[in-house]
Structure 1
Amino acid sequence: MAEQIMETVTIGGANVFEATTFAQWEQRMSNRFVRLQLSTNRPDDFHAVLHGRSYDEISLSRIEADAHQVDRLQDFICAGEARYFKFSLILAGAGLVVQDGREAVLGPGDMTLYDTSRPYSSFFEDGTESLVMVFPQEALSLSGENAARVTARPLSSDYGTGRLVEPFLRGLAASLDAPCGSGGIMLAHNALDLVNTLIHTELGGTTWRPDARLDAVAEVQAFIERNLATGDLTPARIAAAHYMSTRRLHYLFEGVGTTVTSWIKARRLDRCRRDLADPALAAATITQVAQRWGFTDPAHFSRVFRAAYGTSPSEYRRAC
């Protein structure tokens, strides 16, 4: 018999949903705004709570959940469907958002923007609590080119405009249960205005300003993606292919908050994860999958895979 969703209740002005198994959470969330694929390593020992509220076309959700992953797959994206941005603030715990070849590693107080009209993945650790704001793309005054530059970028609350925006959003997350009427609508639109200001401030700053440095990083990342299966994908080889010194290469990646080797490892691990979940590759051994993407030492691969995803490659494959 199919498992039934727990009933949504209303507390104050917010709809509250609690899931005690992953099947309940998956059914509730997989089509909440756009079609999503959810996964976890502990489907039978899972707990999550969502407080949700909508103001006009702005949706706010405070989510506390056990460890899980959310994927917006290319196959799920249909021409003509509504296009949304999602803006997330980590209230507690830690998460990761991946889109457009970038990874935003997020801790308490960190924020990021992602686009539902293109594939993305998000990962959340046990006990992570977040505020997620969903709104139509036209509500944010960004060109398509600039939107692609800011997705999956960590926005810190430690400095600049983020220091002003984060406390307001945190307070809003804490008060979703309180009935606000027209005042709630105004607060939601104020929050959106603040997000708009934050994004444009960051676009105008030195970190994200479109320049030759960002173009060079994008070109190198594309080269890495094309050559992930190559065994000798070293910083020296990458630098030589782009007629630059290794020192210049490392400098470029410092500007996007990572290192060359970390980027290569993360992208290779993601390819291995996808292959392990692919039924068409079920006959391939874990060692073969690892070697295909440049991991020559099975023991080392197992360690880094567990560190990245919280489970061994064999356990991950069995769970898929």
Structure 2
Amino acid sequence: MDVVTFAKVPVDERFAFWREMSAKMWMPLDAHCEPGTESAFQAQVALNGLGPVQATVLTAPSLTIRRTPRLIRRSDPETLFVTCTVRGHAIGEQADRQAELRVGDLMLRDSSHPYLTRFGSTDPAGGQVLSLQFPRSSLPLPERGLRELSALRIRGDRGIGALASQYLLQLVRRLGEFSPDEAMRVSTLTLDVLTAALAGALDANSAVPPGSRRRALLAQIHAFVQANLGDAQLTPAAIAAAHHISVSYLHQLFRDEEHTVAGWIRERRLERCRRDLAEPWLAARTITAIAARWGFTNLQHFSQAFRGAYGLSPRQYRQQCAAVRLPAVREDRSDPPARPVDLAIEWSRPSPD
């Protein structure tokens, strides 16, 4: 994944440079910031291709982006966008509709029709949105239904919208971690999740192929589990209830994936504990506290499971990491790890990847 910054662009030229480069990154767009703030404009763009899905995480203090009929006539990739608000708030307009988005809310837009998007935040770090761009043919939903969803707020705090939102917010954190093969699989999962969320908003689940529906549900369950690993009450019954399915169907989904529900949860928890034990900045935290953070309430059971998975006790593993000064990845970072790129210097050069 590349991160585009403006560190070496002269301050008074940054916004004009941003407007020029945004057209190259996506399509012709008309961008504006708050009057009088051009000289202090700061933005960061993280880009990652997930197969047919282009994922972009845009961070800026405030920004208004318009796609006008004139710009559409100039160039149209004929793609769809789904936007998820990560931090701050956003407003979207298309097809005579307006949606006000809070953190976690989703919105669909179509590049072939005029639209407006405005976002920002009172947070000094600025507002942040995830945008997923993909061909229309990627979604097995009727064209008329997609038009009805343009600039419609899909709430991220209830129903299937909440499950899709959890998945996308997790995706933002991990965009820089995928190998090329993993990126293709994540692309399929992401499109399945979006298909299910949009179909749910249309109340047209019958339009979603069964295979896509199943994969989307499993991806949402995975995201739900990842977000709730620290809850000691994260049981198959709780997971099934949160997704409005039976416990037997939940077990069937995991059998098809060659995992048990409990086994998959345990693996994820052990991995989080392993990372924490390797962290120098957590050296003062007790092993008991680390285990409890990730849902292990019985220290003896945790130690046995850890040794079974990694061949060392938690204490031995921590000592080994300290001895070799093993680098570790902080689990609490809110921004995805990425390779910074200075736009003014790097834009025209081919990627070393």
Same-fold call, TM cutoff 0.5? yes
* Change over 3 Å in CA distance of 1:99–1:159 after alignment to 2: same
What corresponds to 1:176 in structure 2? Answer: 175
Q: Once the 2 structures are TM-superposed, how far is the Cα of residue 153 of structure 1 from its aligned partner?
A: 0.6
Which residue identity lines up with residue 166 of structure 2 in the other structure? P
Equivalences for residues 21-32 of structure 1 within 5 A: 21-32=14-25
Per the TM alignment, residue 35 of structure 1 is displaced from its structure 2 partner at its CA by 1.1
CA-CA distance at 1:28 after TM superposition = 1.6
- Corresponding residue to 2:53 among 49, 55, 58: 58
SS state of the match for residue 82, structure 1? coil
Partner of 2:230: none
Give 3-state SS (helix, strand or coil) of 2:54's partner: strand
SS of structure 2 residue aligned to 1:163: helix
Indicate the residue corresponding to 1:139 in structure 2: 138
- The one-letter amino acid of 2:103's match is P
CA displacement at 1:74 relative to structure 2: 0.5
Matched residue type, 1:194: V
Q: Is the 2:27–2:75 Cα contact (8 Å) retained in structure 1?
A: no
Q: d(CA) in 1 for partners of 2:75 and 2:88? A: 36
If asked which structure has higher relative contact order (CA below 8 Å, sep 6+), I would say 2
CA distance in 1, matches of 2:24, 2:113: 16
CA contact (8 A) 1:109 1:157 kept: yes
Letter in 1 for 2:106: M
Q: CA RMSD in A?
A: 1.9
TM-score by length of 1: 0.57
What is residue 39 of structure 1 aligned with on the other side?
32
- Corresponding residue of 1:291: none
Contact 1:16 1:50 in 2 (8 A): yes
Identity in percent? 21
Q: Secondary structure at the match of 1:152?
A: coil
Query: CA offsets per residue over residues 4-48 of structure 1, 9 Å max, x none?
Result: xxxxxxxxxx01101352123212212322211111122111111
Does the CA contact (< 8 Å) of 2:32 and 2:64 recur in 1? yes
Separation of aligned partners in 2, 1:181 and 1:57: 12
Q: Residue in 1 aligned with 2:351?
A: none
Change (3 A) 1:142 1:132: same
Q: Give the conservation status (yes or no) of the 8 Å contact 1:30–1:38.
A: no
Q: Which residue of 2 aligns with 1:74?
A: 69
Equivalent residue for 2:5?
Answer: 18
* Structure with larger Rg: 2
Paired residue total:
193
Q: Deviations over 1:63-118 (max 9, x none)?
A: 11121110000011139843110101001101101000111101111110000000
By how many angstroms is 1:156 displaced? Answer: 0.9
CA contact (8 A) 1:84 1:117 kept: yes
